[in-house]
Amino acid sequence: MFKRLMGLFSNDLAIDLGTANTLVLIKGEGIAINEPSVVAIQYDKHGHENILAVGQEAKDMVGKTPGHIKAIRPMRDGVIADFEVTEMMIRYFIEKAHKRKSFFAPRVIICVPYGLTQVERRAVRDSAEKAGARYVHLIEEPMAAAIGAGIPVRDPNGNLVVDIGGGTTEIGVTSLGGLVISKSIRVAGDHIDQAIVDYVKKNFNLLIGERVAEELKIKIGTAIPLDEELKTTVKGRDQVEGSLASIEITSEHIRAAMKDSLEQIADALKDVLEQTPPDLAGDIVENGIVLTGGGALIRGLDKYLSDIVKLPVYIAEEPLLAVAKGTGKALDEIDLLQQITYED
Ligand SMILES: Nc1ncnc2c1ncn2[C@@H]1O[C@H](COP(=O)(O)OP(=O)(O)OP(=O)(O)O)[C@@H](O)[C@H]1O
Ligand SMILES: [Mg+2]
């Protein structure tokens, strides 16, 4: 009885712990936090670290910090690159979402990148517990993405979801509440941004940072030729002269820069389709493929993939929120939760 009462007042949380963005959803209220997974740390003269900023404020510092401040993305390529800072970030977000709410410890469900090792999952769980979570469930990203995209994952019907995040592209075929097949590659938004940095350096002798590359991708990036190609100017440092320079760059350039990464994503999708048992493949022909994650917003990516695999491809509604919404739904439906989460 007490436990039930506690559940009632405790404002349980669903967290999408992404390598690019972390979202926290409060049960019954909706999304409370949606911020970059970045932490700015200040080092004093004794080398002690202090959190200066977390989230958007910290991301705005990336590439612009003086020596004693570091803006860290603690999770990279779908793995935890810095355990300590990841823990700080999880605790910060949980405390921020939960602070004003209640006296009771919340139950927390966290969606983690698919490929995390057991040690990494343990670390995530521990940090949530240290932040005061009463009970911590973990859920895998392709499953959360599928639920968030509105796929009826418990039906005996095959559905295919492709979640293109910052660190990883995760592809999963769901049926009967489980992932029948899944594949994760470390080619997603960050990889594309880096490819743009390299392309601009090679073709224009211009050095730009990853933040500017990301802006170019979002502003003029496209997976397919456009009737009217886009263009913009970009500033950076001339590699030869060392001086500041600005150049004009077009969507055709960005498409060329992204080509390799997009091909790798298409290849992974083809792989999964080849491995899919015939009956489920039949379902997917019917249902089509659903794209989630920020990468789903790359112009023309649905058409690009559809042309390659010859199947209908749809973009989920609000793809950047799909995983958080799916995680939240799992929190709402305890029976669903028990079917699809895993314990270490
Ligand atoms: N309009 C857009 N066009 C292209 N890419 C975009 C757009 N908006 C966001 N992105 C990209 O989406 C990525 C972030 O997506 P998302 O928030 O789904 O990742 P994540 O969940 O944090 O990462 P992961 O799932 O790999 O852990 C970033 O690389 C970002 O540049
Ligand atoms: Mg994600």
pLDDT digit string, tens, across residues 226-265:
999 999 999 999 998 889 999 999 999 999 999 999 999 9
**Residue 162: strand pairing partners:** 171, 291
Ligand 1 centroid to 237 CA: how many Å? 26
Average pLDDT, the chain: 90
pLDDT for residue 102: 58
Task: Return the residue whose CA atom lies nearest to atom 10 of ligand 1.
Answer: 294
Its sign, for the CA torsion 306, 188, 317, 269, is positive
Answer whether 326 contacts ligand 1 (Cβ < 6 A).
no
Ligand 1 centroid to 153 CA: how many Å? 23
Q: Residue 42: pLDDT above 50?
A: yes
pLDDT for residue 66: 77
Answer whether 113 contacts ligand 1 (Cβ < 6 A).
yes
Ligand 2 centroid to 78 CA: how many Å? 9
Q: Residue 343: pLDDT above 70?
A: no
Higher per-residue pLDDT: 116 or 16: 16
Question: Which spans in 131-250 are helix H?
Answer: 141-148, 189-204, 210-220
Ligand 1 centroid to 308 CA: how many Å? 22
Answer whether 218 contacts ligand 1 (Cβ < 6 A).
yes
Task: Return the residue whose CA atom lies nearest to atom 19 of ligand 1.
Answer: 165
Q: Residue 101: pLDDT above 60?
A: no
Cβ-contact 88, 13 below 8 angstroms: no
Task: Return the residue whose CA atom lies nearest to atom 17 of ligand 1.
Answer: 21
Answer whether 293 contacts ligand 1 (Cβ < 6 A).
yes
DSSP label at residue 197:
H
Rounded to an integer, the average pLDDT of 171-193 is: 94
Ligand 1 centroid to 295 CA: how many Å? 5
pLDDT for residue 251: 98
Q: Residue 318: pLDDT above 60?
A: yes
The model's confidence at residue 103, banded by pLDDT at 50, 70 and 90, is low
Q: Residue 44: pLDDT above 90?
A: no
Q: Which domains are assigned to the chain? A: 2-34+88-143+323-340 (3.30.420.40), 157-187+261-318 (3.30.420.40), 189-257 (3.90.640.10)
Higher per-residue pLDDT: 282 or 76: 282
pLDDT for residue 319: 98
Task: Return the residue whose CA atom lies nearest to atom 29 of ligand 1.
Answer: 189
Ligand 2 centroid to 166 CA: how many Å? 7
Rounded to an integer, the average pLDDT of 30-50 is: 90
Rounded to an integer, the average pLDDT of 196-214 is: 96
pLDDT for residue 340: 60
How many CB atoms lie under 10 A from the CB of residue 243?
7
Q: Residue 63: pLDDT above 90?
A: no
Task: Return the residue whose CA atom lies nearest to atom 8 of ligand 1.
Answer: 294
Counting from 1 in the atom list of ligand 1, the atom nearest the Cα of 214 is: 31
* CA distances to 114, 174, 325 from 336, in Å: 19, 14, 14
**H helix or E strand, kind and range, residue 338:** helix 334-340
Whose atoms come closest to the Cα of 299: which ligand? 1
From the list 296, 287, 220, the residue with the least C-alpha distance to 265 is 296
Higher per-residue pLDDT: 1 or 320: 320
Ligand 2 centroid to 340 CA: how many Å? 17
Give the percent of the chain with pLDDT over 90: 69
